[in-house]
Chain A
Amino acid sequence: MSDRSTGAVRAALAPDAAATPEPEVAPAGATVGRAPAAQPAPLAPGARFFPSLAAVYRAQLSRARVARIPLLFVATFQSVGIMILMRGVVDGGSEARAVVAGSSVLVVAFVALNLLAQYFGQLRAGGGLDHYATLPVPPASVVLGAAAAYASFTLPGTLVTAVFGCLLFGLPMGGLWILAAVVPLAGAALAGLGAALGLLAPRQELATLAGQLGMSAALLLGVLPPERMPALIVWARDLLPSTYGVEAFARTFEPEPDWAAVAFDLGVCAAVGVVSLAVATRAYRRASVR
């Protein structure tokens, strides 16, 4: 076969000689521009949705041990610090409920929205998506697995913040079980948003910026009691998915919670979660084949 490339070599050395290739270089019946007609090889089975979701979730969760622990502490301390600050301004009542609920959901916003947007932005910029894109794994498994893991990271911080807030403001702790619904649902909404932002941002810095801004919005609009806000800000607050998590949680501190309103708020979180995770999945698919 060594003789076959002589034409190529000569062609490169002396382009005008390329017009007359040697006979053995151009065998009869050669087909250019057509694929060799062979039976297609069998495709290896692709990974199924739930096993790969579990694998991604487990891998992401383990990253917390290596990389995310310091930031999880930051998320909790930030919320605890805000509550201590607000203690001087707010004195019980609905405002205290809003502060505790807002600070708790802020942990979710910090980790699920901000950190996940950064993670996907970094993965996309650094070529890390190639790894997943060359594996036969459903895109939804990768996005949902990462989002679920980030939502799980927030659980301990949210619990600590909520318990600390209840002690600080003297709120009843009997309703904290609702966090078992608030964290996954607000987590889905915010993680979906974070993943979509991270995957859609044209540059890594913009993904980071969007995540930071989203978290700042959740902080300002979620923690501050809405009674003191101008109408325009209240509308903006209604557009933010984290608000519904905050409201659902705050309602359960009332002596007679309005369960229908709680269910509605959580339903909004779930709906935003479904939509934003679908958008993120599409964005992932687009980002992985350029």
Chain B
Amino acid sequence: MSTGTAQAQDGTAAAAGAASDVVCAVRDLVKTYPAVRGRRGAPALPETRANDGVTLDVRRGEIFGLLGPNGAGKSTLVRQLTGLMRPDSGTVTLLGHDLVRHPGRASRLLAYLGQESTALDELTVSLAAETTGRLRGLDLRAARAARDAVLEELGLTAIAERPLKKLSGGQRRLACFATALMGERPVLVLDEPTTGMDPVARRAVWAAVDRRRAHHGATVLLVTHNVIEAETVLDRVAVIDQGKVIACDTPAALKAQVSGEVRLELVWRESAPLEVAEVDRLRARAVESGRRWVLRLAPDEARAAVASITGGPAFAALDDFTLATPSLEDVYLALGGRTKGLVKS
């Protein structure tokens, strides 16, 4: 359905029949940040192509994810989808509206949760929600009713009168998420919504998202660099690396791409016993970080490696090992992702 830039010229795109179901269509989006001249204390930056021909479709009612490491171009993409930034070229169509020509319409179609809370920091949770509701066009009575309902739903009622500034990172994030739910919008764009949240708060977020999906058919566009979250909540995911979509499908289908491999992690007590021939041979295929080795191997290779290490002289030097099926991180690496920076938690 959605395609990477490698295929953009091949004529693959949304099938005509599915077109009416596409909530957000992005075609060949390019955004380049100009070079920054060096100042004292700040190094010069070359011109950066943050989005390099991005093409994707988000369908009605799905939780669509943008997964990639920091600096991959996810936030730049989202800023163009929310009308905060104009692309250099390409089109963005949201619910039938051309957002490149009419960026102002984005605010009347979607709710956006950015990474920053500067605008709300000094307000109480309750006033932040109420004000956002009023600025989203609700009248006073409706804004107050929506505020009470949303704070109750997210379990924020007890801290409603505390300023955001005085809350912990996770609570503050949850309060910002509450403002994004004010004044129902058919599309929610959430930029790393669960950063810093404890599991209870995360569950509250995903339960709230699910409710909006079930009752209002809301569509969610989620930016994340957390692979575990991506695997558990997303319907489909576009893997983004260096400004390009390198893959786009359901998490399960993406993982099936690398299902021929398993991930073997070896943790040595001090250093790897390279004098053991088997260990020395594995080293060539390991990604080393300190005393931790990560290998991606075919299942029988992995089985043989584990057997020889745990049964041989290398076992004395081994601290721990895990054998796991591939995650989206492995997909990202297998697809040629060059940056480390995906989070597993």
Contacts and interface: CB of A to CB of B under 8 A. Distances in A.
B44 interface: no
Interface in B87-145: 91, 93, 95-98, 103-112, 114-120, 122-124, 127-128, 130-132, 134-137, 139-140
B51 to A, nearest CB: 14
Interface in A22-58: 25-27, 29-41, 43-48, 51-52, 54-56, 58
A110 to B, nearest CB: 19
A288 B83 CA distance: 9
B140 to A, nearest CB: 8
B7 A52 contact: no
Given A5-B253, A31-B14, A32-B27, A44 B123 contact: no
Nearest to B96: A40
Nearest to A15: B6
A7 B246 contact: no
B20 A127 contact: no
B191 to A, nearest CB: 10
A289 interface: yes
B10 A26 contact: yes
Contacts of B254: 5, 9
B137 A35 contact: no
B2 A5 contact: yes
B119 A132 contact: yes
Contacts of A45: 108, 137
Interface string A102-143: 000000000000000000001100111111111111000000
B8 interface: yes
A84 interface: no
A38 to B, nearest CB: 5
B183 A36 contact: no
A25 B4 CA distance: 12
Given A21-B7, A26-B12, A134-B112, A9 B183 contact: no
Give the interface centre of A3, A27, A135 by most chain B CB atoms within 10 Å. Answer: A135
Interface of B: 1-4, 6-8, 10-16, 19-20, 22, 25, 27-28, 55, 57, 79, 82-86, 91, 93, 95-98, 103-112, 114-120, 122-124, 127-128, 130-132, 134-137, 139-140, 163, 165, 179, 183, 185-186, 236, 245-250, 252-254, 256-257, 334-336
30 contacts: A1-B1, A1-B253, A2-B249, A8-B246, A12-B336, A13-B336, A21-B12, A25-B10, A26-B11, A27-B12, A30-B12, A32-B11, A33-B91, A37-B19, A40-B95, A40-B97, A41-B97, A45-B137, A62-B122, A63-B122, A66-B122, A123-B118, A126-B116, A127-B114, A128-B117, A131-B114, A132-B135, A133-B83, A289-B83, A290-B85
